[in-house]
Structure 1
Amino acid sequence: MTKLIRVLLATAVLPGAAVATAGVLGNAWAHRLPDPVATHWRSGPDSSTPLGVFTGVCLGLGAAAVLLLATTAVTSLRRGRPLPRPTVGVGAGFAVLPAAVLVSVLVANLDAPDWHAAHSDAAVVLFLLGAAALGVVAAFVGGLPSPVRGTSAHRPSVGLRPGQRAFWSSRAANPAMLWALVLVPVAIALLPAGLAWPTAGWIALVGAGVTALTYRLSATVDAKGVTIRFGFLGVPWRHLRLDSIREATARELSTFGDGGLGLRFNPVTGTTAYKVRGGPALALALENGRTVLVSVDDPETGAGLVNDLLAQRITRID
């Protein structure tokens, strides 16, 4: 199976078939459905939409999403940068989401005398799980490894000699993130039409708790690979084995580039950024063609040690 066929199967055929199936079911059930149909529930149906309008909007959104996903995937493939597996899976799942919502609403309204008598909308959970399952299948079918890039002109080194061992550790922190999420809700509460003090207090408390887990970042390099840890508890964390890394360099990051601060993933480039600030960062080019960025101090030394350990691993004779 060629790469193009795999991509089209994952981004056009599978989600397109789901949207088409929803359209066929809507047409087959038309005589068994009230018009308008219930489209919103609380304790019971509390809002309705004309059947033709609701069906047309859902199918139109689904078809547009499938077309956009397939076009993007094929264009990326032809440019030599196929979409990563997570991007294909999430894209396919979102593309069939309107179809899943449509079928779940039609099932809830099936055989009801009018929209007020529609059944519970609990079935929507099953159809959303089905959309997620289709996304997983699409990810495995159409997710292709990115091509490996050439080595960088400047490849840092710390001069590690054969037989020597070394360890590098660095970190970075951004206390402003912590103070911002604590003080902003308080400042809003001071406004005449702002938040109530109890609400502001809870938001500040939750914000401080979340930020405490993410405002500090550390990275270590040793003979086993690179370990990245967030916050006081060191969670979330990630370990990259040496055999999964092709080379390491240092790079300057902007504060709001690569999606901003925190843990960020670019679905088009396959770049994962662990950021608590702008400035110097360790850049790890992986064997699968993706890149990991870590905003820590003195990344040049860490990159040099990674490259020297890789060179020892390649040249060592067991």
Structure 2
Amino acid sequence: MTTSNLAVRRAHRAYVTFGIVLPLLVGLVGVGLMLLWLPEMPETIAIHWDASGADGFGPAWSTPVILAATVALIVVLLAACALPGWRAGEWGPTQRFVGALGPAIVVFLTVGITWSFGTQRGLTDPTAAPSILLPFAVGALTGAVVGVIAWFAQPAVTLSGGSPAGHSPADITLGQGEQAVWLRTTTMSTPGLVFIVLATLLMAGLAVVFVLSDSAVAWVIVLLAVLLLVLTVTMCVFRVRVDAGGLRVASLLGIPRFRVPLADIASVSVIEVSPMSQFGGWGIRLSLDGRFGVVMHRGEAIEVTRHRGRTFVVTVDDAETGAGLLDALAERAERTA
């Protein structure tokens, strides 16, 4: 077994420890304490507070049930973000971040909810429940500390499924005054489309429910639903163009659009991209290592490093040819300058 494989194995074990086992244990402790205190609780307790105090109430048994379900849901959802890359033989900063985010959120919620639950032991009037400000402030601080510890406890490993991290583009030679244009269309992959469509449908359904219930926040939900619909239309297909103006990437509607002029290009390379492990998903993304770009699908991409060190990435078929032409144009522009 190579050193790289050993490092990945350690990263996997660390993720399971901090991203799955630790949150479940923390949630189990919180639920266990609440079940232990349940005989001392009034039948009805405060479950919601506003600036003036407790304003929402429910049965005492519902709080440990809700906490258990919430912790399980958080662990499952975050694991669903990490496991596809794991199965594909990939690992990166996104999985490491997910492994730190899970325990941070669970500790925050468990400390706040369990503490506020415990302060109501022996109360006869649920409206007299103490403020939750201190419990959740301590929970937020504790969760942040646990998250930082979980981040540094996981190895900093990046693995792209055996694909090369990057290689030189195609060797293209242009004569003085010779013009060339490279055009491609890049489309979001099926997993990304499914995720966006489901999120849009969910938000649309929530908007209908809130409007029918005449809720005060209905307009906010409607705006979010419209925003998601616009994003669905504009973010799923992009046109990529390489010419004497540099690299241009624009959606079908023309907005959003991105441009890297030739004079701003320091280097061009072709890389293999895994959306989840490297960028945390699909669309217009900013990775944890500072790279920004349009990530539509898994596979080859043009990576452009600017003179100031910033990096732009776009996933597109035949990236080697596009990158080769862009590199040739940039070199010729530099010679001319």
TM-score of the aligned structures, taking structure 1 as reference length: 0.50
Q: Which amino acid in 1 is paired with 2:114?
A: L
Question: 1: distance between equivalents of 2:146 and 2:248?
Answer: 33
Could you tell me whether the CA contact under 8 Å between 1:156 and 1:304 is conserved in 2?
Answer: yes
Q: Encode CA deviations 1:171-212: one digit per residue, 9 max, x unaligned.
A: 7599xxxxxx9xx99xx9xxxx9x79x979968965676568
Q: Which amino acid in 2 is paired with 1:12?
A: T
Q: Which amino acid in 2 is paired with 1:305?
A: L
**Percent of pairs with identical residues:** 14
Map of 1:283 onto structure 2 = 300
Q: Encode CA deviations 1:95-147: one digit per residue, 9 max, x unaligned.
A: 55444323211111233234824334455476357546645654553441114
Root mean square deviation, CA, Å: 6.3
Question: 2: distance between equivalents of 1:80 and 1:207?
Answer: 29
Aligned pair in 2 of structure 1 residues 92, 300: CA closer, same or farther (>3 Å)?
closer
Map of 1:253 onto structure 2 = none
Map of 2:193 onto structure 1 = none
SS in structure 2 of the partner of residue 8 of structure 1:
helix
Aligned pair in 2 of structure 1 residues 51, 13: CA closer, same or farther (>3 Å)?
same
Question: 2: distance between equivalents of 1:286 and 1:54?
Answer: 48
Q: CA deviation at 1:6?
A: 4.2
Map of 1:40 onto structure 2 = 47
> Within 5 Å, which residues of 2 pair with 1:124-273?
124=136, 127=139, 131=143, 134-135=146-147, 138-139=150-151, 141-147=154-160, 148-149=162-163, 157=170, 159-160=172-173, 170=183, 206=227, 210=231, 214=235, 217-219=238-240, 221=242, 228=249, 232=254, 234=256, 245-246=269-270, 262-263=283-284
Equivalent position to 1:5, from 10, 28, 52: 10
Map of 1:269 onto structure 2 = none
Question: 1: distance between equivalents of 2:186 and 2:302?
Answer: 24
Paired residues, what number? 267
Question: 1: distance between equivalents of 2:30 and 2:314?
Answer: 47
Map of 2:89 onto structure 1 = 81
Question: 1: distance between equivalents of 2:44 and 2:236?
Answer: 48
Aligned pair in 2 of structure 1 residues 55, 20: CA closer, same or farther (>3 Å)?
farther
Aligned pair in 2 of structure 1 residues 169, 248: CA closer, same or farther (>3 Å)?
farther
SS in structure 2 of the partner of residue 45 of structure 1:
strand
SS in structure 2 of the partner of residue 144 of structure 1:
coil
SS in structure 2 of the partner of residue 40 of structure 1:
strand
Q: CA deviation at 1:12?
A: 0.5
Q: CA deviation at 1:246?
A: 3.9
Q: Which amino acid in 2 is paired with 1:127?
A: G
SS in structure 2 of the partner of residue 119 of structure 1:
coil
Map of 2:68 onto structure 1 = 57
**Contiguous gaps of at least 5 residues in structure 1:** 175-180, 250-258, 266-271, 313-318
SS in structure 2 of the partner of residue 284 of structure 1:
strand
Could you tell me whether the CA contact under 8 Å between 2:238 and 2:250 is conserved in 1?
Answer: yes
Could you tell me whether the CA contact under 8 Å between 1:213 and 1:233 is conserved in 2?
Answer: yes
Q: CA deviation at 1:34?
A: 2.6
Question: 2: distance between equivalents of 1:226 and 1:26?
Answer: 54
Could you tell me whether the CA contact under 8 Å between 1:38 and 1:105 is conserved in 2?
Answer: no
Aligned pair in 2 of structure 1 residues 208, 167: CA closer, same or farther (>3 Å)?
farther
Question: 2: distance between equivalents of 1:142 and 1:68?
Answer: 18
**Contiguous gaps of at least 5 residues in structure 2:** 188-196, 213-217, 274-279, 287-292, 305-312, 332-337
Could you tell me whether the CA contact under 8 Å between 1:26 and 1:103 is conserved in 2?
Answer: no
SS in structure 1 of the partner of residue 91 of structure 2:
coil
Question: 1: distance between equivalents of 2:79 and 2:224?
Answer: 37
Aligned pair in 2 of structure 1 residues 235, 151: CA closer, same or farther (>3 Å)?
closer
Q: Which amino acid in 2 is paired with 1:160?
A: T
Aligned pair in 2 of structure 1 residues 132, 222: CA closer, same or farther (>3 Å)?
farther
Map of 2:192 onto structure 1 = none
Q: Which amino acid in 2 is paired with 1:34?
A: M
Q: CA deviation at 1:46?
A: 1.7
Question: 2: distance between equivalents of 1:124 and 1:19?
Answer: 19
TM-score of the aligned structures, taking structure 2 as reference length: 0.48
